[in-house]
Amino acid sequence: MASGRVGGTRSKISGQVGEEVYQIRKNTDGTYTQVITAKGETTVNFTTPRLQAQRMCTSMVEAMMRDLKEVGKISMQSAANKSKSLNAFSSYNLQLVARDCKANWYRNNQFVYPELDRFDIKQRDLGGLYMLSSGTLQFNVFAGHATQDYPTGGLVDYPHSTNAPEGLYFTLPYYGCSIGEFLRANRMTRLDTVVFCMFGMYAEYNAETEENNLFYKHNYMIAQINPALSDGVVITDDILPTLFVGSSNRGVICKRYAQQPYFFLGFDLEIVNKSEEPYTWGAFSISYADGKKKISSSSYQWFEEFNDAWLSGHAPADVFGTWIGEPQVKPYPYIF
At residue 257, φ and ψ (nearest 5 deg) are -80, 135
Residue 31: predicted pLDDT: 78
**DSSP string across 162-228:** TEEEEEEEEE-SSTT-BHHHHHHHTT--TT-EEEEEEEEEEEEEETTTTEEEEEEEEEEEEEEE-TT
The residue among 1 and 48 whose pLDDT is bigger is 48
Backbone angles phi, psi at 16, to 5 degrees: -115, 135
Q: Is the pLDDT of residue 143 over 90?
A: yes
Beta bridge partners of 212: 205
Q: How many CA atoms lie within 13 A of 179 on its CB side?
A: 18
10 Å Cβ neighbour count for 109? Answer: 21
CA torsion through residues 141, 145, 149, 150, sign: positive
For the stretch 237-291, pLDDT in tens is: 999 999 999 999 999 999 999 888 999 999 998 876 667 888 999 999 999 999 9
- 152-156 contacts at long range (C-beta below 8 A, 24 or more positions apart): 152/264, 154/257, 154/258, 154/259, 154/260, 155/255, 155/256, 155/257, 155/258, 155/264, 156/237, 156/255, 156/256, 156/257, 156/258
Distance of alpha carbon 1 from the chain centroid: 49
Dist CA 18 CA 98 (whole Å): 43
- The yes-or-no verdict on residue 72 having pLDDT over 90 is yes
Radius of gyration, CA atoms only, the chain: 30
Mean pLDDT of the chain: 87
Cα dihedral value 285, 288, 293, 299, nearest 10: -10
Helical pair 316-323 and 49-72, crossing angle rounded to 10 deg: 110
- What order do you get walking across the sheet with 20-26 strand by strand? 3-4, 13-17, 20-26, 32-38
Average of pLDDT values for 107-113? 92
